């Protein structure tokens, strides 16, 4: 399985947990420089994956908020 396929299989929660672990590891300065660079690269991909999942969720919420009659969607932002 490629890195991209592996990333796509992760849920938002799994990706976020892995990203938090990477951040903690990088903040402590543990490990070799090459390992830190690889972890940073993985973290950047995880961040991008999490953002994609959040954007997908936002779009789903916006679709749900469309009026039944097919009219224009509410212009007020979703506050969560």
pLDDT at 76: 55
Band (pLDDT 50/70/90 cuts) for residue 64 is: confident
**Domains detected in the chain:** 3-64 (1.10.287)
Helices (H), 1-80: 3-9, 12-28, 33-64
pLDDT tens digits for 19-40?
999 999 999 988 899 999 999 9
Do the beta carbons of residue 54 and residue 75 sit within 8 Å?
no
Q: How far apart are the C-alpha atoms of 65 and 75, rounded to whole Å?
A: 10
Evaluate if pTM is beyond 0.85. Answer: no
């Amino acid at each position: 399985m490629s890195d991209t396929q592996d990333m796509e299989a992760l849920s938002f929660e799994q990706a976020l947990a892995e990203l938090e672990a990477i951040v903690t590891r990088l903040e402590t300065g543990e490990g070799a420089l090459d390992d830190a660079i690889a972890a940073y690269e993985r973290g950047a991909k995880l961040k991008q994956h999490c953002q994609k999942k959040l954007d997908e969720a936002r779009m789903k919420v916006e679709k749900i908020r469309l009026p039944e009659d097919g009219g224009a969607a509410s212009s007020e932002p979703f506050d969560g």
